Amino acid sequence: MNESSASRVRLTVDGAFVEVAAGASVVVAIALAHAAMNTPVRGTRISVSGEPRAALCGMGVC
For the segment 9-48, what is each residue's pLDDT rounded down to a tens digit?
Answer: 999 988 889 999 998 888 888 888 888 888 877 777 788 9
Domain range annotation of the chain: 3-53
pLDDT given at position 7: 92
pLDDT given at position 11: 92
pLDDT given at position 59: 58
Q: How many CA atoms lie within 13 A of 34 on its CB side?
A: 11
For the segment 46-57, what is each residue's pLDDT rounded down to a tens digit?
Answer: 889 988 887 766
pLDDT given at position 62: 52
| Cα 38 to Cα 35: distance, rounded to the nearest angstrom | 5
CB-based burial label for 16 (10 Å; 0-12, 13-18, 19+)? middle
